Structure 1
Amino acid sequence: MMLAFDRRQMLSAVALAAAGVGTGGPAAAQLSMRRPAPLRHDAVQALIDAYVAKGSVPGAVVALVEPGRHKPIFLSAGVTAFGGSEKATPDTLWRIYSMTKPITAMAIMQRIATGELKLDQPIADIMPEFRDMKVLVDPDKSLESRAAARPITVRHLLTHTAGFSYTINGNGPLEKEYKRLGIQPGSVPAFLQPGDGALPDLQVMATALAGLPLALDPGTAWKYSISLDVAGALLERLTGMSFDKVLEQQILGPLGMKDTGFWAKDKGRLAANYLWTAPGTTKVLDKPIPISMLEKDGYTTRPRLLSGGGGLVGSARDYARFAQMVLNEGEFDGRTILPRGTARLATSNLMPPGVFFDTENGFGAGGRVTLFDTRAGGSRSRAGWAGSAVDAYGWGGAAGTLFMADSVRQFGVVLMLQTMGDSRLQRDADLAAALARDAAGR
């Protein structure tokens, strides 16, 4: 039976989750003269223990990395499902949803490094159907449109400034068209409603988007959107390979992320995900609803839509490798995954001039970038970003996952848990405070 699902709930979950921090740090050679004391992790362990003890989640795993050689520290608490007995471990599999975005973005940056793409290149050079885009005259009223002021570029895709939207952004005329055509976040049908179109494949989705107006002129504002899915379609068109093979060849294989993909290779290791909000309301439930009731066969077989914006499942062990590469400015265990200059570019503010993420923060390749030091608090300090250094980069996932690296304090963090719609869980502020306590104890 299909449960009704209020997309405002999903938007709230995404908004809470979209607060990953971190940045690519100095290379190991640059750190050899002055290494920090080893990471402490008592406060972070206490945090995930407390989350499990109070029943917010059945289990959680944290990975901590430092620049240089890959020697991750893993912290675990609880089990993979409420009422279950399987312990959460570094090899448990989690729906990482929008933590897919930085991976897709880095694959784009690799092609920029080779010269096959340019940051300010119109995507219509590779996908000509996007050459003559239209823009809505009044997004709240109709699909009436005018000619776009400028073309969509690769930069726009990476920074959510292309002018696309998401079905989770509301229920305006454009979002209704997205729903009708099956243009949804992620690779599984969990959040499709009765009457929505079936999920298309990536190229069909891109072609459908090209035939619709944009919500905004490209380059004028940050709007959370389907743009990283379009980036996946762009990579398919550029390489002639399916997107899953692109990621395997460029990112997952070279980093040894053997358990990360668009479906769980071992579904027995897939953690349960839970919705804490009553469908169609904002009421927090006493007992959550398993998302598996909505997923059908999601994450157990190869999906039709390979979503570069929210489709991957993976382990903390795997994502720690990606975090290590970012922290090492493109290097992993002596191999160059991304040239250092390009890695630094990817984790810098790539927003068009005068455009901000939220008036104070920028955006890099698939992740938020802090523009002000918030470690001392003050007026610029916000819940998910308090304790962040300038140029911090990263992103999170709608089910509570979070990727973070910090070149100033020289560590990276990956948090894996599965919960959606629980407004009581102050994950971002809690994790920032725990990390600060552990850093102070060095």
Structure 2
Amino acid sequence: MARLNRSALARLRATLQSHIDRQRIPGAIAVVALGGHVELFEALGRQDPQTGAPMKDDAIFRIYSMTKPIVSLATLILAEEGGLQLADPVSKYLPEFANQQVAVEEGGAVRLQPSRRDATVHDLLRHTAGLTYEFLGSNAVQRQYEAADITNRSRTSAEFCKVLAAMPLADQPGTCWQYSRATDVLGALIEVAAGQPLGALLQQRVLGPLGMKDTAFAVPQDQWHRTAEPFANDPDSGDAVVMMDGREVPKFESGGGGLLSTAADYTRFLQLMRNGGSLEGTRMVSRKTIEWMTADHLGAIPANGDLLLPGYGFGLGFSVRTHAGLAPQPGSVGQYFWSGIGGTSFFVDPAEDLFAMLLTQAPNQRIFFRNLFRHLVYAAVD
């Protein structure tokens, strides 16, 4: 069994602290676990750079897209119970997504063609539903998302889906991987399948059973002081840093990026994944479902853009490593990970029985620190 080198863990801590000292990030919490045992849990720097408050172990972070694996797990729990099947068309639950059109850009003009098939629940989970994200580019569909103010949190999930479904798809369903609003749609879909709002569903099926007591779509007023904050201005561009307001209770509970959480809470989720679906003697989901969830589901389906690193495919809510080489970071075949646009990231490496997480609030520095952290963690594996 692997061990962790204590001097390398000390270097990890010192390296993060040096970046904090140089005002690259305001503060961070780093977690490293081996064999299911947390070997490092470090709160560094400042929780709020405006007030100078130090980072606390129980700080609450906007985790954005680290919401996606939790919503994906809730979907698979419903599937285990017979509440839905991954082969079901999205339109079975959200009829507005039936018979969509696909935008084809030719010579500066946009032509619409019928979709060859409806997207499925499986497509939503693996981001092959033909949807996109408005911040990933400026093609015709992305411009429509932007014009429709698709990020507006004052819509209900049903209203969000009606706005989104009225716009054309960026690709034919099933033909390519494109990181997208798919998990937002998935959140709305499982609301229909389960007959309850997403927040209540997640609380009942995932957050409550796991004891994730500080994970929700808004921070209660008496806990606002625990929220980790970014710099007021980005250290590179000088632009104002704008992040989701966790104090506001949104009408739209975004399955793709709406949760706030703590290091302790998300560690419990990662422990569940590491354990193959059980935690502290309670089985929440089967081992085979976890194996299926964390396997590559793309195969020969190509990926659009550069978000999927070389040597990686995509499972049901996670990027999954398919090759020992190719990627610009170390790792093992079978490793899976995801991250959030606000500066949070995690990975699980079953081959080494290792998982790790870095939480910070630094949107424009997120990729650098995600990559740095992974290198520093693997440098500690003996």
TM-score normalised by length of structure 1: 0.79
Aligned to 2:150: 183
Letter in 2 for 1:84: T
Q: Is structure 2 residue 338 aligned with structure 1 residue 395?
A: yes
Aligned to 1:204: 159
Aligned to 1:271: 228
Spell out the pairing of 1:412-427 with structure 2 (5 A cutoff).
412-422=355-365, 426-427=368-369
Aligned to 1:260: 215
| Kept in 2: contact 1:43–1:437 (CA 8 A) | no
Highest RCO, 1 vs 2 (Cα 8 Å, sep ≥ 6): 1
The alpha-carbon deviation at position 407 of structure 1 amounts to 0.9
Does the residue aligned with 2:176 lie in a helix, a strand or coil? Answer: coil
Spell out the pairing of 1:82-231 with structure 2 (5 A cutoff).
82-138=49-105, 141-142=108-109, 144-184=111-151, 199-231=154-186
Q: Unmatched 5+ residue regions in structure 2?
A: none
The alpha-carbon deviation at position 275 of structure 1 amounts to 7.0
Q: 1:274 to 1:224 in 2, by over 3 A?
A: farther
Aligned to 2:266: 319
Letter in 1 for 2:374: A
Rounded Cα–Cα distance in structure 1 between residues aligned with 2:250 and 2:4: 42
Rounded Cα–Cα distance in structure 2 between residues aligned with 1:157 and 1:141: 29
Aligned to 2:313: 362
Provide, for residues 114-142 of structure 1, a one-character-per-residue CA deviation record: whole Å limited to 9, x for no partner: 22222222122222222211111228845
Q: 1:72 to 1:182 in 2, by over 3 A?
A: farther
Q: 1:127 to 1:346 in 2, by over 3 A?
A: same
The alpha-carbon deviation at position 48 of structure 1 amounts to 1.9
| Kept in 2: contact 1:165–1:224 (CA 8 A) | yes
Rounded Cα–Cα distance in structure 1 between residues aligned with 2:185 and 2:106: 21
TM-score normalised by length of structure 2: 0.91
Rounded Cα–Cα distance in structure 1 between residues aligned with 2:209 and 2:31: 20
Task: Supply the RMSD in Å over aligned alpha carbons.
Answer: 2.3
The alpha-carbon deviation at position 218 of structure 1 amounts to 0.6
Letter in 2 for 1:368: S
Provide, for residues 277-334 of structure 1, a one-character-per-residue CA deviation record: whole Å limited to 9, x for no partner: 59xxxxx33x563426xx5xx2103101111111111111111111111111111111
Q: Is structure 2 residue 356 aligned with structure 1 residue 405?
A: no
Aligned to 1:344: 291
Q: Is structure 2 residue 294 aligned with structure 1 residue 371?
A: no
Does the residue aligned with 1:426 lie in a helix, a strand or coil? Answer: helix
Rounded Cα–Cα distance in structure 2 between residues aligned with 1:127 and 1:113: 21
Aligned to 2:43: 76
1:63 to 23, 28, 31: 31
| Number of equivalences | 374
Q: Is structure 2 residue 14 aligned with structure 1 residue 46?
A: yes
| Kept in 2: contact 1:182–1:200 (CA 8 A) | no
The alpha-carbon deviation at position 36 of structure 1 amounts to 4.3
Letter in 2 for 1:50: S
Letter in 1 for 2:93: I
The alpha-carbon deviation at position 274 of structure 1 amounts to 3.8
| Kept in 1: contact 2:334–2:351 (CA 8 A) | no
Rounded Cα–Cα distance in structure 1 between residues aligned with 2:107 and 2:96: 25
Rounded Cα–Cα distance in structure 2 between residues aligned with 1:228 and 1:39: 38
Provide, for residues 335-370 of structure 1, a one-character-per-residue CA deviation record: whole Å limited to 9, x for no partner: 112111001111111126433445632101111111
Rounded Cα–Cα distance in structure 2 between residues aligned with 1:300 and 1:144: 42
Q: Unmatched 5+ residue regions in structure 1?
A: 1-34, 189-198, 279-283, 375-379
Deviates more, 1:205-214 or 1:90-99: 205-214
Letter in 1 for 2:377: L
The alpha-carbon deviation at position 72 of structure 1 amounts to 6.5
Aligned to 1:15: none
